[in-house]
Structure 1
Amino acid sequence: MRVRSRVLAGVAGWVLAGTLLTGSQAGFVASADEYAGTTVVDEEAPLIPNDAVRLRIIANSDSPEDQALKRQIRDRIIDEVGRRLRGAGDRQQARQVIEANVPIFTLMAAQAVKEAGYSYTVKTDYGRVPFPTKVYGNNVYPAGEYEALRIVVGEGKGQNWWCVLFPPLCFVDLANGDAVQAKDMEAKSEPLATIEVPAGENQTAQMVQVRLGIVDGLKSLFEKIGEFLKSLFA
């Protein structure tokens, strides 16, 4: 009996510690009333300047093979852009370097397509291009038209991948896929709120669900404790 009492006391300690830890991790999440603005603030997530230069790569389709090809192109382009932008001191220089090397980026993407055994066309342009809404951590990046290097593979009907070339947020893994799905949030949990994200030029506003990280974290913690207690008293 004493053993079980000690175990239960230990479990209570785990719950308290887990609650405090999860609460500290979710400390940056605002209350539901504060979601009237355009972003849900995550202090650790990178913020995108309005005049940033982006990269958008659109796959031929959503097949696993086409999505894998998109990632191969992504890796090559990011490495090449990073190499060429090492001497860029400001955004204007970065824009000039990227725009001047569009033909090279096109050839690199086409080479990746060829090496993968496909005959897809590759279209590359630089300018103001449309972007979908994106959620990264707890930041919501509205849809709209932004300055970017855009690469369209084949029919361009697959999911897209995008990041910021300058400032170089691509190199801190801004995005691994499409939005709108917050990273590490449990799909089955209830949303804290549904907010309207103001759109950019020629775009309609979009509704985005926001989840509270502490809720998902505590749910997972209590499920694990429940499983432990069942095994203890079985």
Structure 2
Amino acid sequence: MKKQTMIFIYIVLMLIGANAGVFANKPEGQANGQLMIPDEAIRLRILANSDSEKDQKLKRIIRDEVNKEITTWVEDLTSIEDARELIKSRLDEIEEIVAEVLERENSPQDYNVDFGNVDFPTKLYGKFLYPAGQYEAILITLGEGNGSNWWCVLFPPLCFLDFSNGEAVDTSEKEKEEKPKVEEEKKEETEVKFFIVEFFTSLFS
């Protein structure tokens, strides 16, 4: 009977350790599957000229080009001060990107690129409410700037999330890859529990 008790304690400790390992593997800055914007962050906000299909498409093209470039600038940075100084020093490059896209798309719109405290509207992303207020950001205004806006977080890099819609951007492939893995993990967990039940049933019968 003493041997059976020791086996029981050993298995319980193994289960506790396994569960602890699952929670320890959650990415930093993630809570309940949602990514949180840290207090110190630099954002990107783009105001389209209007809500016409053409102007909104133009906004998305500029979004992709600017985000792709800035992501390479900040990917190795760990300090918001360094990110701030780097972005300030390279605003002219962002202006060039915007100008090149407008020329390529044959759109003679005016544009403006600023960096500083920018007004943001209230947005709900998942379970998190991001209140309206002024946040440090790059603001790109296209034409009259009367169209729907788009925004994301440049530093730390969270621009794969579209906080303007509360939806994930370009994560469909990632979700397809992760879903089978989650289902497989659940299946394995069920099999382990079933094995333990069978083991103790035979042990104490």
TM-score by length of 2: 0.64
Aligned to 2:37: 48
Task: Mark the structure with the bigger radius of gyration.
Answer: 2
Question: Does structure 2 conserve the Cα–Cα contact (< 8 Å) formed by 1:123 and 1:152?
Answer: yes
Provide the C-alpha distance between the structure 2 equivalents of 1:97 and 1:86, rounded to a whole number of angstroms. 12
Provide the C-alpha distance between the structure 2 equivalents of 1:136 and 1:86, rounded to a whole number of angstroms. 24
Q: Indicate the structure with greater helix content.
A: 2
Provide the C-alpha distance between the structure 2 equivalents of 1:164 and 1:101, rounded to a whole number of angstroms. 17
Q: Shift in Å at residue 112 of structure 1?
A: 0.6
Provide the C-alpha distance between the structure 1 equivalents of 2:34 and 2:56, rounded to a whole number of angstroms. 25
Question: Does structure 1 conserve the Cα–Cα contact (< 8 Å) formed by 2:49 and 2:141?
Answer: yes
Deviations 1:46-101 (A, max 9, x none): 11112200000110000011001000000001110011113323111111111111
**1:57-206 map, 5 Å:** 57-170=46-159, 173-175=160-162, 178-179=164-165, 183=167
Question: Does structure 1 conserve the Cα–Cα contact (< 8 Å) formed by 2:75 and 2:157?
Answer: no
5+ residue gaps in structure 2? 1-29, 169-205
Q: Shift in Å at residue 175 of structure 1?
A: 0.8
RMSD: 1.8
SS for the counterpart of 1:130 is strand
Letter matched to residue 162 of structure 2: A
**1:23-38 map, 5 Å:** none
Q: Shift in Å at residue 183 of structure 1?
A: 4.7
Provide the C-alpha distance between the structure 2 equivalents of 1:88 and 1:42, rounded to a whole number of angstroms. 23
Distance 1:85 1:159, change over 3 A: same
Structure 1 stretches of 4+ with a deviation exceeding 2 A read: none
Distance 1:53 1:183, change over 3 A: closer
5+ residue gaps in structure 1? 1-40, 185-234
TM-score by length of 1: 0.56
Provide the C-alpha distance between the structure 2 equivalents of 1:153 and 1:112, rounded to a whole number of angstroms. 12
Deviations 1:165-216 (A, max 9, x none): 001011xx2216x35xx559xxxxxxxxxxxxxxxxxxxxxxxxxxxxxxxx
Corresponding pairs, count: 139
SS for the counterpart of 1:169 is coil
